[in-house]
């Protein structure tokens, strides 16, 4: 079966969005800092648990996202516009290499994490991996592909691929830091930040156009 261009586009957009909002490289750097006292086996166990829990959280929002939107009376146009703004802010953070609560932990959360013996659930699974940015992205992407099961399947496959990449980066956290260095890690973040900003603007434009706001202004 030959996949349509729409399905391929949904997959590529989803991979880029999830890679930027989850940030496997950034998560690995934080993971290395928080697990310096653990053995290799304990780090691997913590990484696997954290990724599995985060995957479960994001898949739950992928399945239940539309139900949540309907229950709250939120239109797809509003979600696209609001999601575009959120992703734009995250993209700007990535380009300028500034952390925010959408993709990283806050200062208070860092202090609490340092006191925890097991970080698999908090802060690793959430908010480091399944943070507000990633949750918003999965709901937005699934809603954007509403009614097309192939495109929604492409979103889920993209999510699982990025989660596998995240697990790999956690298992190789110390080596990644040595291989890439701070400059290399920031460069990767900036590249995906620029791409995310462009995707965010497209979501924002689509949301405004779908809302009929521009047509109403033109008519008046």
What percentage of the chain carries pLDDT values higher than 90? 49
Q: Return d(Cα 34, Cα 31) in angstroms, integer.
A: 5
Residue 104 is given by DSSP the state S
Closest CA to 21 of 183, 207, 195: 195
Q: What is the predicted pLDDT for the residue at 182?
A: 76
pLDDT tens readout for residues 160-209: 999 999 999 999 988 887 888 878 888 888 898 899 999 999 999 998 98
pLDDT surpasses 60 at 73 = yes
Q: What share of the chain is helix, strand, coil (3-state, %, to 5)?
A: 85, 0, 15
Q: What is the predicted pLDDT for the residue at 99?
A: 63
**Would you call 145 exposed, middle or buried from its count of C-beta atoms within 10 A (0-12, 13-18, 19+)?**
buried
pLDDT surpasses 60 at 6 = yes
Q: Return d(Cα 157, Cα 14) in angstroms, integer.
A: 9
| Ramachandran class of 105: left when φ > 0, alpha when ψ lies in -120 to 50, beta otherwise | beta
How far is C-alpha 10 from the geometric centre of its chain's CA atoms? 15
pLDDT surpasses 70 at 111 = no
Q: What is the predicted pLDDT for the residue at 22?
A: 95
Q: Return d(Cα 93, Cα 37) in angstroms, integer.
A: 30
Give pTM, 2 decimals: 0.84
Mean pLDDT in the chain? 87
Interacting residues of 121 by C-beta distance below 8 A, sequence separation 6+ = 49, 50, 53
Calculate ∠ Cα 8-10-13, nearest 5°: 105
The dihedral built from the CA positions of residue 74, 75, 76 and 79, taken in this order, carries a sign that is negative
Averaged pLDDT, 144-160? 94
Q: What is the predicted pLDDT for the residue at 90?
A: 87
């Amino acid at each position: 079966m030959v996949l349509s261009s729409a399905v391929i586009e949904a997959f590529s957009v989803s991979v880029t969005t999830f890679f930027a909002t989850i940030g496997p490289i950034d998560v690995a750097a934080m993971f290395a800092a928080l697990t310096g006292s653990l053995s290799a086996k304990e780090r691997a166990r913590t990484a696997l648990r954290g990724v599995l829990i985060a995957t479960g959280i994001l898949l739950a929002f992928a399945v239940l996202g539309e139900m949540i939107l309907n229950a709250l009376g939120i239109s797809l146009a509003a979600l696209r516009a609001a999601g575009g703004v959120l992703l734009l802010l995250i993209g700007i953070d990535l380009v300028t290499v500034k952390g925010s609560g959408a993709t990283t932990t806050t200062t208070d959360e860092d202090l609490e994490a340092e006191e925890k013996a097991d970080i698999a659930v908090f802060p690793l699974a959430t908010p480091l991996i399944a943070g507000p940015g990633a949750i918003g992205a999965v709901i937005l992407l699934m809603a954007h592909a509403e009614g097309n099961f192939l495109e929604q399947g492409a979103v889920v496959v993209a999510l699982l691929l990025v989660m596998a990449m995240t697990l790999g980066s956690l298992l190789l956290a110390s080596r990644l830091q040595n291989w890439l260095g701070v400059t290399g890690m920031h460069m990767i973040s900036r590249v995906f930040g620029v791409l995310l900003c462009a995707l965010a603007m497209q979501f924002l434009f689509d949301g405004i156009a779908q809302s009929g706001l521009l047509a109403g202004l033109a008519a008046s």
